[in-house]
Amino acid sequence: MNSIDLKYGCNPHQKQARIYMEDGSDLPLVVLNGNPGYINLLDAVNSFALVKELDKALNLPAAASFKHLSPAGAAIALPLDEKEKQMYFTKQELSPLASAYVRARGTDRMSSFGDFVALSRECDEITAKCLNREVSDGVIAPSYSKEALEILKKKRRGTYNVLQMDATFEPGAIEKRSVYGITFEMERNSVIFDESYLKEVVTKNKEFTDEQKRDLIVASIALKYTQSNSVCYAKRGQTIGVGAGQQSRIHCTRLSGEKADHWSLRQHPKVLNLPFIKGLSRNEKDNVIEQYLSEDRETDLLDPEVSKRYFTHPIEDLTKEEKMEYLAELDDVVISSDAFFPFSDNIERAYKSGARAIVQPGGSIRDDSVIECCDEHGMVMAFSHLRLFHH
């Protein structure tokens, strides 16, 4: 099939919408279930390209959680530690692909609500079961086991979008788009970010650990598919904070840093031991944790009348001082930026969230002050000379 008609475009009043191959060839994707929309398919195609690159770069199963043309999270398959199992509400044994999915979804569970999921390898039964318990619009993968497909076809009363993508498909060298009746054309960004982009270390600290190299690759490939300006924090083979679409670089660093802080604080003992009442859904727990960690709560969770809606007994607050003390202990986070850091304030902000290794293109007239700031904190930074803007 070389064309699929869609129910509408970005909005319901944009009635005429379809996807097709301009050269008349068959589409590289097949709809196995559901009726995906225009935005669903944009997310599906971009997210599959991301996980395909992650898998190729690190030779591990990869997963991504996509919302509105940017990843809410992306991860490779590493086993979950005990804290991660608890913070992701996961007790069962996971397959490698399932662990990648759970970790990608766990980057920013609030933003991932109603996401589109991409998997780099065949979706197995365990991964399908993990998908089945989350609120999601659809999934794209190169194939599905019989058991997995049966589970997913029943999700959302049989309307869940299940797409199969030809993993061997390679798009052409030139990309085109039409905006306001004008056709834009450019060479596709086919570069694969790997360790070769980490060779030019410009700080006094010259050594990346193997884990830092891995995480910088994860963060940088994620940025390649994140709406610019964008900055990404990563740890243990997964993104932990993605800041997308900000006009200012420091706002990007702050936004992604706040998300990274939130991810880290979800592992604080007070959060892990919140005494939830039985019957609360995973999404309800996420909402409560979000408010518990927020400085500007919509609900007073410490009020006894409010508290009993969510908890078996009254809870203690997690104070600002306790948060700062916990975050100050972090030292194993990395950060990647899709363009150069123009000022050292970005470095200061990243350091506060535990970032100790950085990759960025370089090329600012203030590179020297940015390097000096890294040296003051003992950080290691490489210039990749590779901008990763995505629009």
Q: How many CB atoms lie within 10 A of CB 86?
A: 16
67 is annotated as an active-site residue: yes
> Which residues have a Cβ under 8 Å from the Cβ of 101 and sit 6 or more positions away?
63, 75, 117, 119, 127, 130, 131
273 is annotated as an active-site residue: no
Distance CA 274, CA 208 (A): 37
Q: Which of 46, 52, 67, 213 is catalytic?
A: 67
Q: For 382, phi and psi rounded to 5 degrees?
A: -115, 145
391 is annotated as an active-site residue: yes
Beta bridge partners of 239: 234
Distance CA 220, CA 190 (A): 14
352 is annotated as an active-site residue: no
Q: Which of 33, 229, 287, 346 is catalytic?
A: 229
Give the DSSP H/E element, type plus range, for residue 37: none
Identify whether 59 is preceded by a cis peptide bond (ω within 30 of 0): no
Q: Which of 68, 129, 285, 377 is catalytic?
A: 68
Q: Are 263 and 248 in contact (CB under 8 A)?
A: no
Q: Which of 206, 278, 320, 391 is catalytic?
A: 391
Give the DSSP H/E element, type plus range, for residue 369: helix 367-376
Distance CA 99, CA 351 (A): 28
> Which amino acids are annotated catalytic?
67-68, 229, 391
